[in-house]
């Protein structure tokens, strides 16, 4: 008599725990990789037209593609020219995402750089000869998306906004060399 009661109590406790664990919070369920695949399916929702899959072996050219740094450096072509509007948008984004490390002028002296903080790596300086002359637009654009070391990967910044930031970085570089265009710029983008 005693044993079955204990057993069924334990069974009840376990099933309660499992139910709470699985229904308590959506996020917790999603954290289990096995369940994750059930949440993200290709299923067709109510009133939705069936998905059209691209013909085999093809890639939808409108789809945003992620390029790693090497690919960005090699193939990404800057579609922007530095109009006042684009520079203005680039500045807003730069002040939002880059200034704390790279500094307001791009000299790599943002507020988080210094003793007991981020070490002042030479590559932080976006006004260096290397950054001006050796880095292609595509490289800087790819750097924003991929990050490196303590620099975060800003993949969430849309492609076009990243080009606006690149234009603003070029603008800072030009300004630092007294208005002369930085060595790289549009001419170099995409052809190296
Ligand atoms: C948290 C600090 C931090 C933020 C924010 C940050 N960076 Fe960086 N960035 C770094 C560090 C550190 C390096 C040097 C990394 C290395 O050399 O490995 C770097 C390097 C770079 C380089 C040079 C890479 C090279 O090979 O010389 C570029 C270009 C760059 N960052 C652009 C940006 C832009 C544009 C933004 C804003 C979208 C940004 N970074 C935001 C920390 C940051």
Nearest to 170 by CA among 100, 50, 82: 82
Q: Please give the pLDDT value at position 84.
A: 97
Calpha distance 126→104 (Å, rounded): 11
Choose one of 102, 125, 153 to mutate for the ligand 1 pocket test, by most ligand atoms within 8 angstroms of C-beta: 102
What is the phi-psi region of residue 170: left when phi exceeds 0, alpha when psi lies from -120 to 50, beta otherwise?
Answer: alpha
Confirm if 167 and 90 have CB atoms less than 8 A apart: yes
Q: Above pLDDT 70, what percent of the chain?
A: 74
* Residue closest by Cα to atom 13 of ligand 1: 124
Q: Is 165 exposed, middle or buried (0-12, 13-18, 19+ CB in 10 A)?
A: buried
Residue 189 pLDDT > 60, yes or no?
A: no
Q: Please give the pLDDT value at position 24.
A: 58
Pull the structure tokens for residue 104.
């307001």
100 CA closest ligand 1 atom index: 5
* Residue closest by Cα to atom 1 of ligand 1: 151
Tens of pLDDT, residue by residue over 142-169, are 999 999 999 999 999 999 999 999 999 9
Q: Which residue has the higher pLDDT, 9 or 67?
A: 67
Mean pLDDT of the chain: 83
Q: Which residue has the higher pLDDT, 98 or 186?
A: 98
> What is the CA(150)–ligand 1 centre distance, in A?
8
> What is the CA(156)–ligand 1 centre distance, in A?
16
């Amino acid at each position: 008599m005693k044993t079955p009661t204990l057993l069924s109590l334990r069974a009840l406790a376990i099933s309660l725990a499992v139910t709470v664990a699985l229904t308590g919070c959506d996020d917790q369920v999603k954290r289990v990789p096995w369940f994750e695949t059930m949440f993200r399916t290709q299923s067709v929702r109510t009133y939705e037209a069936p998905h059209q899959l691209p013909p085999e072996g093809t890639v939808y050219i409108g789809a945003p593609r992620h390029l790693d740094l090497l690919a960005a450096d090699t193939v990404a072509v800057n579609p922007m020219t530095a109009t006042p509007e684009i520079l203005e948008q680039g500045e807003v984004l730069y002040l939002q995402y880059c200034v704390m490390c790279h500094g307001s002028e791009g000299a790599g002296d943002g507020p988080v750089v210094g003793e007991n903080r981020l070490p002042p790596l030479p590559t932080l300086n976006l006004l260096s000869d290397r950054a001006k002359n050796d880095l292609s637009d595509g490289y800087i654009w790819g750097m924003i998306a991929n990050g490196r070391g303590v620099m975060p990967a800003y993949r969430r910044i849309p492609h076009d906004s990243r080009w606006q930031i690149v234009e603003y970085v070029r603008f800072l570089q030009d300004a630092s060399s007294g208005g002369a265009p930085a060595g790289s710029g549009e001419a170099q983008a995409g052809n190296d």
